[in-house]
Amino acid sequence: MNDLQWDVIGNRVRSARVAAGISARELARRIGVSPSHVSQVERGIGAFSVPALYAAAREIDISLHDLFDPPQEAPPAPAPATLQDLDADGVVQRAGQHPTIQLSDGPRWSRLNVAAEADAEFLEVIYQPGTRVLPDYIRHEGREYGIVISGALDVEVDGVRTTLNAGDSIVFDSQRPHRFWNESEAEVRAIWFVRDSEPGDAAPHA
């Protein structure tokens, strides 16, 4: 996996915050964390939780795909893919190439789409054993589709809790308050797809 360190993510957060004209103290107030925590994240010595990351992305107007891949000059259109060059043409991404970030509250996200797509996120999410229930709910634009590949994932949507076991799937509007955790003694592996509700607006997952 291509692990993204928090100093890289922090630099992108800081750049977007400055571009939005928001002070670190004001951002901290808006997302419900301390100014020192925002400072630590931007310096790469701290990590946001899932709710804080979503909240920060919303406040500084940056999408998750921009955190995985900062904006770059558009490359020339590729030639039609052939069986020999699917990797080079961005059709196939090998197991060791997925950009990956570790969140402070347990989940590990790996992006499965080869390149950033403004209207969708395709993720593998790993929950380590014994992760706690998030104190805050997550809400954002979009619609989520998930399936548990292994383990037992604890889920709460609109105050209703259940457990998803291997093979169980879930679909819901991301505006509904939700959170995920893993109280079991085994790792949970899930595949998640988040589709933007309005084409052209970026919307990420937890």
What is the domain partition of the chain in residue ranges? 2-68, 95-195
Q: What pTM value is reported for the model?
A: 0.69
Q: Is 26 helix (H, G, I), strand (E, B) or coil?
A: helix
Q: What percent of the chain has pLDDT over 70?
A: 86
Assigned CATH class of 2-68: mainly alpha
Residue 2 has pLDDT above 70, yes or no: no
**159 conformational bin, left if phi > 0, alpha if psi -120 to 50, beta if neither:** left
Is pLDDT above 70 for 44? yes
Tell the CATH topology of 95-195: Jelly Rolls (2.60.120)
pLDDT in tens, 70-125: 655 455 555 555 556 787 777 888 888 888 888 887 788 898 988 777 788 899 99
CB 114 within 8 A of CB 122: no
Q: Among 16-20, 69-73, 170-174, name the most confident range.
A: 170-174
Highest mean pLDDT pick, 92-106, 159-173, 188-202: 159-173
Q: Residue 138 corresponds to which tokens in the numbers above?
A: 């997550």
